Structure 1
Amino acid sequence: MGLGLITQAEGRHITVMFPANGEVRLYAAQEAPLARYLLQEGQQGKHAEGWTFIIEELSEAAGIVTYHGTREDTQETVTVPEPQLSYQIDNNPALTRLLAGQADRLDMYQLRCEANQHLAAYQNSEVAGLLGVRTHLLPHQLYIAKTVADRYHPRVLLADEVGLGKTIEAGMIIKRRLMTDRSSRVLIVVPESLMHQWLIELRRRLALSFTLFDEERCEQASEDTGNPFLTEQHIIVSSDFIKEPKWQSALSDADFDLLVIDEAHHLQPDADEFAQVKALCKSIPGLLLLTATPEQEGSEGHFLRLQLLDPDRFNDYEAFLTEQEHYKELAEQAESITDNEKLDELLDKYGTGRVMFRNRRADIGGFPERRFHPIELPELTPEEGMPWWMDDPRVDWLINHIKENRNTKALLICKTAEQVLDLSEALRVLAGVQAATFHEGMTLTERDRSAAFFASEEDGSPVLLCSEIGSEGRNFQFVSQLILFDLPTNPDLLEQRIGRLDRIGQQNTIDIYLPYTSGSSESILLPWYEQGMNAFRQCNAIGRKLYDAFGTFIEAALQKRQPLSDDIIQQTQELSDAWRELNKQGHDKLQAMNACRPEQAERIIGHIETDSDVDTVADFMLAFWDRFGVNNEVLDENRWFIRASEHMRIPGLPGLPEDGITVTFDRVTALNFEDVDFLSWDHPMVQAALELLSADDFGSTCVTQMKNTAIPAGSWFLELDFTNTVTAPAKTAAQEFCPQGNLRLLLDSQGLELSDKVSRELLDQQASFLDKKTARQILKQLRGPAQDLIHGAQDKARSWQERLVKAQQEKISETLQRELKRLEALKDVNPSVRESEIEALKERQATLLAATEQPQLSLTAIRILVNNH
C-alpha cells in the first residue's frame, strides 16, 4: 500500500490515507498495526520526484525528521524533510538489520525465503482464491466463479436452478476478488432469516469473515464515525434494512465495490422501496443478483431486475420478448461454433449472455429420484369452539407418519407462521412430540437453535415445521422426506420448497408427501401440478410461465371451490411439453453454453489441483508453527490440533482462537469433518504467515558457516533476495498483471556473481547453524565490505527490475488494448456495452501504466556464508 499519512486522530480511531493506491483506512487507536517509517544512516531514501539519495545524517525539529545526504545520480548534497519522501517506498528491512548488527537463525532465514517463493507463486496463480473452498470441485460452480470474478466490474444474475449452489458460487466470486485485490469492500443483502446462515457458510466454507449490521449496530458505530458502514470492510445486512431511508445515503457513500443480493426475486419493481434499491445498485460498481426462480414474479419483473444490472442493454421490454422468440435459431448458430472467442462474441451480442448465468439440473446430472405420494383424506367438519387441528385429518395422518418413520426425519412446509405454531401445539398435545419450528416470528438465534435441534441425531426432533421462509436459503440435504401441508399457487414457490431437499449433496431418494382433503384448495391444484406439468417428479423451470397463462382460471377455480376443467389440464400439459421442448432447443441451450464451458472448467479444476500443492503448504505451516511457538499435536495423518503457546513470537495469529483449533490440509478430510479448519494458500492463517515472513523482519538477515573443502577456509559469500512490487489503487487489480517478482543474487567476496552456478538448495546442504555470538562478530567484521557489495548488487537488481516492469507494461497494454478493441466493436452492435465501461477500462490501463513507472524494489533478505572446513 505504500507509505501512509495519518490524516486524523479522534477518539478511538485513527484515519490513514495511502496516496500510492488512493485508499483511506480507519483503525482502532489501541490496536492500529502502524509503525512510523524511519530511515537510518547509510540507507537509501527516495524523493517524491523519483530520485534516490544515501542518508548521511538525520535531524529532527517540531516532530519532523529531515534526512541529509548525497543524491545518487548527481552526487549533490541534498536535504529531504520526511513529508517529501516518495509514497512508493523501497522497503529494505534486511539492510536496516545488517547495519544494526542483527542476525537470525538459519532456519528462520530459510523459512523467509520459502515464504517469498510461495507468495510469488500464489500471486501468479490463475486460481488464487479458489484453492481453499470447502466443497467438491464442481465444474459449473468453478467456471462461473472464475469467469465472473475475473471481470473488472461484474454485474451478473446468478440464476442456477434450485440446489445447484448459487451461494457457494457467490462466495467463491467474493473470495477470489478479495484475494486478488479486485474487490476490497463487500456488502451482502439477504433475507433476515438467512443472515446467520450466510455468515456461517462464508466462514466455514471459504474462511471469510463478515459482520452482521442491524439498526443497533449502526447506531453504536455512528457514535464514533459519521458513516457506520466505514467501520468494517465486509458487511451483511437484511433485505428490509436496505429499504430504510435512514441509512440510504450512508450505504451509497460507503464506497462498497461489490454488492450481493440474495433471493433477488423479492425485489418488487412496483414496491415503493424499489427506487432505493435501484439507487444502491447504481452506486456500487460490482453487482451479483441471486435467484433460482428469476421469473417467479413474471417475465416483466425479471426484465426489470435485469435492468438493475444493465439499464442500457435492457431498456425495451417488447424488444426483449421478441429477442427471446429467436433463441432457437441463435442456439443452432452457436452450436456450430467451435472457437471460444467467436462463441463469446455471439453470446455477448444477443440474449442475456453478458449478465445471466443459469445452469440446469438436467445438464449437471447426479440428482436423486423424486417420489410423489399424494394422500387423499376424508373431509371433516370441525366442531365449533375447538382448535382447527383437533379435527383435521391431516394432523392425524402426520402423527401416524411420524410414529411409523421414527428413524427418518421429515421437513414440513406450510404457508404461515400461525400454522406452524398450531401444528407444533397439536403434535405436543395429541402425540407428545416436541417438534422443531422455523418461522419469521423467531429471532435469528432461535432459528439456528431450532435447526440444530432438528439436525441432532441423538435427541433431535423427528420433524421440522417451517413456514414459507423455510423454502428459501436453508439447506437440509440430510433429510429425504418432504411433507407439503398445503400447496402454493406459484409453481416457482413449489419448486423452491422441494429444492430444500433436492440439491447437491443429497444422497437419498426424495419422498414428497401431500396429505389433502377432498374439496380443498390442494385437491384443485393437484391435477394442474401433477398431470399438467409433472411438477413433483422433475424440476419445473417453466412453471411461472404456465401460471401466467392459466392463473386467471386457477384463481377463479379456487375462489369458487370448483375443480379445474379437463380442458385446462390438457392445455397446461400441451403447453408445458411445447415450452420445455422450445427451451431445450433454444433458450436452455444458449444458457447452458454460457453458464459452463466444460473444457475451461476442467482446466480450472486442473489448476486448483496443481496449485493447491497440499504437501508444500503443510510442510511450510508445520515449520512456521515450530518457529513461531505454535503448539501442534498430530491427531491422525490428516489432522492437527494447534494452539498458542507461552513462547509465541507474535501476540496472535489470525484464525487461531485462544483455546486452539483442529486443522487439515486435505480437502476430503475437510468435507468429512465440518469442525476442522481447511488450510490452503487462501486461508487467512496461511496468508498471515506469508505476510509475516515476507514483509516483517523475521529471518531477513542471517550469518552461517559452511563446510566446503574445495574452496579456501575463510572465504565468504553474500546471498541477496530482492522483490519487486507495484502499488496501485485497489480497483485496478494490479496483481493480475504485476504479481510480486523475486530475484536472488549470490556474490563472492570479490563481487563475482555466482547465482546461476550455485543454487540456494546446494548452499543449504552445506550451511549449518552458527551461534549468535559468533554470528555477530562475523557480521561486525564483514558489515562494511558486505554493504559495498550490496550497493553494487542493487544496480543489477534495478536492471532486472526494469526488464520485469517492461514485460508487465507490455502485458498491460496488450491485454487491455485487446479488450478495449473488443468492447468498442461490440458496442456498435449491442447497447449492453456502456460508454462508462469503456472509459473505466481506459482509466484502468492508464493508472496501471502510471503505477509501473514507480515500482518498489526491496532487499528483503541477506545471508552471509563463511567457509569453515
Structure 2
Amino acid sequence: MSGYDLVDVEVTHEPAGDLLDSLSEDGTEEDHLRSIQAVRLQAGQPDSELRSLKELDENSVKLLEHQVDAAYRALFEMDGKALLADEVGLGKTIEVGMILKEMHFRETDDSVLILTPAQLAKQWQAELREKFGLDFICNYDDEFEDFDAHDYVIASIDTAKSERHRRTVLDRDWDVLVLDEAHYVKNEETDRYDLIDRLSYDYAFFLTATPIQNELTDLYNVVSLLRPGLFGTRDVFHHYFVNGSQETLVNRDELQDRLNRVMIRNRREDTDIDFTDRTIDTRTFDPTPKERELYQAVSDYVKGAYGQDQGQKLVLMLLQKEVVSSPVALKRTIEKRLYEQSELTHADELETILDLIDEIDTVTKQERLLDIVEEARDNVEMGRVIVFTQFRATQQRILDRLVSEGYTVHAFHGGHSSSEKERIVEDFEEEGGILVSTDAMSEGRNLQFCNMLVNLDLPWNPMRVEQRIGRIHRIGQKRDVFIFNMALKDTIEEYVLERLYHKIDLFQQSVGELSSILSRLEESGTSFEDEIFERLMNANSEVDLENDFDAMAVDLQEQRELANKLEEFNSAVFEGFDLGEGDA
C-alpha cells in the first residue's frame, strides 16, 4: 500500500476527515488507474445505462429494483470494485449476474474468475447459465484443465489456493474477480487472504451478508483487499474509527462516507419483497417398546464405548443419530463396525443391538410420515413434499414404503451427477409427489415451487436445518411455507427440538442470526454437535440431561443477545449512523 503508511504520523490533533482525505490525495497512481478502468466500462456507452438487461429472458430471471440499483452502482459509481453486502436472501448472485452480463455486453470481460466455497461452485455455474446465458467452466467439470486454459472460470477458493493451482492462478492477469462469501478472507494470516491479496485483476466484486462477524477488523481486512488504502493503515483505522474495547464507533460520518464508496448493503425491510410466512409443526411420537429398547441399548453402548475411547466420538455420534432415523441405517453401521473390528471389546453388545434391530417390525416415524404426506396429497399443489433425512439407507427405505402406497417419488442424493440432479428437480416440479432427499439438497437449490418440507430426522446443527428450509423459503416463494419436524419421545432428538430449537425459537431466526450465534459458540473450539454429544454422554440421569439442555438453551439465548448487539453495531456501521450527534 505505497503512499498510505501513516505509522509515523502524529494523528491525535488532526481531524479524521483531514488526515484521511490526504490518503486519497497520495493515491494519484491508483486514481489514474481507476479512471482508465472506468473509461473501459463506459466505452461507447457514455450514458452508463445497463443496456444488457433488455437481452434477459423475463421467464428465466425476475430482476428486483434493489438488485438493478446495486448492479448499476457497482459498475458506474464504484468504478467496478464493490462489496455487495445485502442481507441473506436478497439475491446477491443475481446482482453479480447482471454485472457480468453488462460487462460482457461492453466487452470488458476477457477473463473472469469466480471464487466460491466448494459447495456453491456448481450453483453459480447453473444460475449464470440459466438466468444470464453466461457459460463458465467449473473446476469440478471433466472438461476443466487448469486456470490458464479457460477464460471464464468458477472454482472453489480452496482449489485456487492449493499447491497444484496457486501459481497458475497468480500468474494470470484477470479482467474480473468475483469472490463469494468474502468474509472467509477476513483473517490476513490465512492462505485464502494471501491468494486474494496477490491476485492481479482490473475489476472485483466481493459478496458477503456478514462483513463484520466479530469485530470491525473483519471489515477492514475485506475492504482493504478490494480497495487498498481506503482506510489507511490498520493502526490509523483503529485510531480513528474504533475505541479501545471495539464496542463503540467514533468518527462515524467519516466511516460511512468511505464505506459508501465501496459497499452496497440492502436490508430485507428496505426492499419491497414480501416474504411469505413460515409455519413450524413439530410432531413427537411414542416409539414402540422394541424401538425404545433399541434406543436404550444403543445409548448404553455409546456411553460405555466413549468412556473407554473418546477418539471414537464421530462414529459413536453417528450411531446416536442413526438410531432415531431408522433401524436400517443403524444396522449398516453396526455391521460395518463388527466387520472392521472383529476383536472389538464391545462385540457382544453390538451383536445384541443387531438382534434388537431384526425384531422391529414397525418403524414409527415411517408410518407417521404417511399421515403427513397424505395431508399434503389433499391440500398441497400436486401433493409436493420434500422429505429430508441424513442417511441414504433411511432414504431408500422411505422410498420403498411410499412406492408401496402408490405415491410418485423422487430420490436426490450426493451420488447423482450434476445432470441427474437437474433432471430430478425438473421431474419433481413437473410430476409432483414426494422428493426424498439427503442433505446433498440442503444447499444450492431453488425449490420455490414447493412449499412443504418434512425433517424426518433432525441435524443437531440448526444452520443445516435452516439450509434445508432455505430451499423453499426464499425469494420467489408465493405461498406460506409449512415445516414438519418429526421426533421420537424421550430421545436425544426430542431434547434438541424442545429444549434447544424451540426454546429460543431458532426456527424463526435468519441465516445471518444463526451464523452469528453459532460462530460465537464455536470460537471456543467446540462445535454445536460436539456440545450436544458431550452433554448426552455426561448426564447421569434423565433429570441431569434435562437440566444440561436447559443450561445450553440459556447459553444460546445469551449468544443470541450478543448477536443482537452485534447487529445493532453493524447497523451503526451500515445504515446511516443515526445514533445521535457528535462522536463518542
Normalized against structure 2, the TM-score is what?
0.63
1:263 to 1:152, Cα distance in 2 relative to 1, 3 A: closer
Residue pair 2:285, 2:489 contacting (<8 A) in 1 also? yes
How far apart are the structure 2 equivalents of 1:483 and 1:130?
38
1:635-674 superposed matches below 5 A: none
Who is 2:86 aligned against? 160
Q: 1:509, CA displacement in angstroms?
A: 0.4
Who is 1:588 aligned against? 571
1:387 to 1:141, Cα distance in 2 relative to 1, 3 A: farther
Who is 2:400 aligned against? 428
Bigger shift: residues 527-536 or 394-403: 527-536
Who is 1:442 aligned against? 416
1:373-452 superposed matches below 5 A: 373-379=281-287, 380-381=291-292, 382=294, 384-385=353-354, 386=357, 392-406=363-377, 407-415=382-390, 419-429=391-401, 431-432=403-404, 435-452=409-426
Deviations 1:101-145 (A, max 9, x none): xxxxxxxxxxxxxxxxxx999553433334444444423212221
1:298 to 1:444, Cα distance in 2 relative to 1, 3 A: farther
1:471 to 1:211, Cα distance in 2 relative to 1, 3 A: same
1:585 to 1:244, Cα distance in 2 relative to 1, 3 A: closer
Who is 1:237 aligned against? 155
1:208 to 1:123, Cα distance in 2 relative to 1, 3 A: farther
Q: 1:438, CA displacement in angstroms?
A: 3.3
How far apart are the structure 2 equivalents of 1:269 and 1:293?
14
How far apart are the structure 1 equivalents of 2:500 and 2:533?
14
1:471 to 1:206, Cα distance in 2 relative to 1, 3 A: same
Any idea what SS the aligned residue of 1:174 has? helix
Any idea what SS the aligned residue of 2:512 has? coil
How far apart are the structure 1 equivalents of 2:393 and 2:187?
32
How far apart are the structure 2 equivalents of 1:209 and 1:553?
38
Who is 1:287 aligned against? 204
Residue pair 2:88, 2:512 contacting (<8 A) in 1 also? no
Deviations 1:346-382 (A, max 9, x none): 4144xx6555544332333411011111111224344
How far apart are the structure 2 equivalents of 1:120 and 1:305?
29
Q: Which of 453, 467, 483 is 2:427 aligned to? A: 453
Q: Which of 47, 51, 54 is 1:124 aligned to? A: 47
1:372 to 1:240, Cα distance in 2 relative to 1, 3 A: same
Q: 1:539, CA displacement in angstroms?
A: 2.5
How far apart are the structure 1 equivalents of 2:362 and 2:212?
38
Who is 1:347 aligned against? 256
Does residue 399 of structure 2 align to residue 482 of structure 1?
no
Any idea what SS the aligned residue of 1:541 has? helix
Residue pair 2:88, 2:511 contacting (<8 A) in 1 also? no
Alpha carbon RMSD of aligned pairs, Å?
Answer: 4.3
* AA partner of residue 205 (structure 2): L
Does residue 164 of structure 2 align to residue 246 of structure 1?
yes
How far apart are the structure 2 equivalents of 1:169 and 1:462?
33
Q: 1:441, CA displacement in angstroms?
A: 3.1
Residue pair 1:298, 1:544 contacting (<8 A) in 2 also? no
Q: 1:254, CA displacement in angstroms?
A: 2.8
1:559-570 superposed matches below 5 A: 559-561=534-536, 562-563=545-546, 564=548, 566=550, 568-570=552-554
Q: Which of 323, 326, 331 is 2:248 aligned to? A: 326
Q: 1:578, CA displacement in angstroms?
A: 7.0
Q: 1:501, CA displacement in angstroms?
A: 1.6
Residue pair 2:256, 2:574 contacting (<8 A) in 1 also? no
Any idea what SS the aligned residue of 1:246 has? coil
Does residue 285 of structure 2 align to residue 362 of structure 1?
no
Residue pair 1:264, 1:290 contacting (<8 A) in 2 also? yes
* AA partner of residue 441 (structure 2): G
How far apart are the structure 2 equivalents of 1:185 and 1:566?
54
Any idea what SS the aligned residue of 2:173 has? coil
Residue pair 1:281, 1:287 contacting (<8 A) in 2 also? no
Any idea what SS the aligned residue of 1:502 has? coil
1:388 to 1:230, Cα distance in 2 relative to 1, 3 A: farther
Q: 1:589, CA displacement in angstroms?
A: 5.6
Q: Which of 534, 558, 562 is 2:533 aligned to? A: 558
Bigger shift: residues 544-553 or 316-325: 316-325
Deviations 1:141-199 (A, max 9, x none): 12221222236665544343332112101111222233345543111234565545433
Q: 1:515, CA displacement in angstroms?
A: 0.8
1:395-794 superposed matches below 5 A: 395-406=366-377, 407-415=382-390, 419-429=391-401, 431-432=403-404, 435-456=409-430, 459-467=431-439, 469-527=440-498, 530-539=501-510, 541-548=512-519, 555-561=530-536, 562-563=545-546, 564=548, 566=550, 568-570=552-554, 572-573=556-557, 576=560, 579-580=563-564, 582=565, 585-588=568-571, 590-592=573-575
Who is 1:172 aligned against? 98
Deviations 1:760-809 (A, max 9, x none): xxxxxxxxxxxxxxxxxxxxxxxxxxxxxxxxxxxxxxxxxxxxxxxxxx
Deviations 1:805-845 (A, max 9, x none): xxxxxxxxxxxxxxxxxxxxxxxxxxxxxxxxxxxxxxxxx
Residue pair 1:123, 1:180 contacting (<8 A) in 2 also? no
Any idea what SS the aligned residue of 1:479 has? coil
Who is 2:309 aligned against? none
1:481 to 1:574, Cα distance in 2 relative to 1, 3 A: same
Does residue 191 of structure 2 align to residue 275 of structure 1?
yes
Any idea what SS the aligned residue of 2:164 has? helix
Deviations 1:641-691 (A, max 9, x none): xxxxxxxxxxxxxxxxxxxxxxxxxxxxxxxxxxxxxxxxxxxxxxxxxxx
Does residue 233 of structure 2 align to residue 258 of structure 1?
no
Any idea what SS the aligned residue of 2:284 has? strand
Deviations 1:457-479 (A, max 9, x none): xx354224131x42322111111
1:266 to 1:411, Cα distance in 2 relative to 1, 3 A: farther
Where relative contact order (Cα < 8 A, 6+ residues apart) is larger, the structure is 1
Residue pair 1:183, 1:257 contacting (<8 A) in 2 also? yes
Who is 2:65 aligned against? 139
Residue pair 2:170, 2:200 contacting (<8 A) in 1 also? yes
Any idea what SS the aligned residue of 1:161 has? coil
1:525 to 1:289, Cα distance in 2 relative to 1, 3 A: farther
* AA partner of residue 591 (structure 1): F
How far apart are the structure 2 equivalents of 1:446 and 1:484?
23
How far apart are the structure 2 equivalents of 1:388 and 1:288?
58
Residue pair 1:454, 1:463 contacting (<8 A) in 2 also? yes
Q: 1:547, CA displacement in angstroms?
A: 3.2
How far apart are the structure 1 equivalents of 2:398 and 2:206?
40
How far apart are the structure 1 equivalents of 2:463 and 2:207?
15
How far apart are the structure 1 equivalents of 2:63 and 2:206?
23
- Which one has a larger percent strand, Structure 1 or Structure 2? 1
Residue pair 1:374, 1:513 contacting (<8 A) in 2 also? yes
1:796-807 superposed matches below 5 A: none
1:516 to 1:177, Cα distance in 2 relative to 1, 3 A: same
Any idea what SS the aligned residue of 1:504 has? coil
* AA partner of residue 439 (structure 1): H
How far apart are the structure 2 equivalents of 1:436 and 1:266?
35
How far apart are the structure 2 equivalents of 1:438 and 1:293?
31
- Which one has a larger percent helix, Structure 1 or Structure 2? 2
